[in-house]
Amino acid sequence: MTQAKVCFIGAGNMTRSIVSGLINNGYPTELVHATNPSQAKLDALHADFGIVVSNDNVKAAEQADVIVLSVKPQLMQQVCEQMQSLNLSNKLVITIAAGIPAARYSEYFNQSINLIRTMPNTPTQLGFGMTGLYADNNISEVHKAICQQLMQSGGKVVWVEKEEELNQVIALAGSSPAYFFLFIESMIETGKKMGMDEAKARALAEQAALGAAQMVIQNQDLSLAELRNNVTSKGGTTAQAIETFEQGDLRGLVDKAMNNCVARAEEMAKTF
């Protein structure tokens, strides 16, 4: 497949993650452009990855085959409206924003566009990302393939049939790295309270998290309950810890957190 000229509008955390995945996968640096109002993030992206940078959204978008909208949802409308003068009919527009429905973008741009909505996550920067993709029926197979190729350079992708499913992708993958970070952070805090120095507590917790994730991935024939039971000796230490989590209704809390995550995405869809 011919490689497309890609322009990221907004050079924040998520653009850095996707660009990192792309460049580490051999995507040509001269085909990747990022824009941002403040210079520091652009300088850092150029220094780290050698990509083209500028602060002119309209010019960068005009020169691109693929425009990746990577600003906060609150700013999306004004950023798209700025580009209304461009003819976007042959371009692919990819949005990574949470919440904003696909149909809203043609209003923002005041023209019909070829839009694919995606929901990536930050581990994309290491090639361990997970991205949900949604395209309306009018999007060509060529555009879908281009989008999939771009997002796959940072990890795995999953297409969803219905747009609402992207909100579930947010709860399960887009936002969820933060849940795991919070869990590990809490473990390190307790390790420190128990008297261990921070570096050692982090080394122990992070390696256990990595090992646990690999156990899940590499044992597809085992349920999560079986993996858990294999650690939990009857009358032993793990049983005490797990019982504490169950008594504190960890499952209920996770359920509530994920439903609140989806509810916020739904609320954002009405706001922006």
Ligand X SMILES: O=C(O)[C@@H]1CCC=N1
Q: What does the binding site for ligand NDP look like in residue numbers (CB under 6 A)?
A: 9-15, 35-38, 41, 57, 70-73, 75, 79, 96-98, 119-122, 174
DSSP one-letter code for 31: G
Helix axes 39-49, 13-24, angle to 10 degrees: 10
Q: Please report which helix (H) or strand (E) contains residue 267, including its range.
A: helix 250-271
Q: Which of 157, 175, 191, 201 binds ligand X (CB under 6 A)?
A: 175
Using alpha carbons, list the distances in angstroms from residue 177 to 49, 62, 122, 170, 180: 24, 34, 8, 10, 5
CB of 257 to ligand X, least distance (A): 12
Site size for ligand X, by CB under 6 A?
Answer: 4
Residue 179 near residue 171 (C-beta atoms within 8 A): no
In the complex with ligand X, which residue's Cβ is closer, 66 or 98? 98
CB of 13 to ligand NDP, least distance (A): 4
Cα 217 → chain centroid: 19
Minimum CB distance to ligand X smaller for 4 or for 71: 71
In angstroms, give the least distance from the CB of 230 to ligand NDP: 32
3-state DSSP assignment of residue 66: strand
* 171 lies in the site for ligand X, by CB under 6 A: no
Closer CB to ligand X, 68 or 98, in the complex: 98
Partner in contact with 101, chosen from ligand NDP, ligand X, none, beta carbon below 5 to 8 Å by kind: none
Q: Does 168 bind ligand X (CB under 6 A)?
A: no
* H/E element, 133: strand 129-135
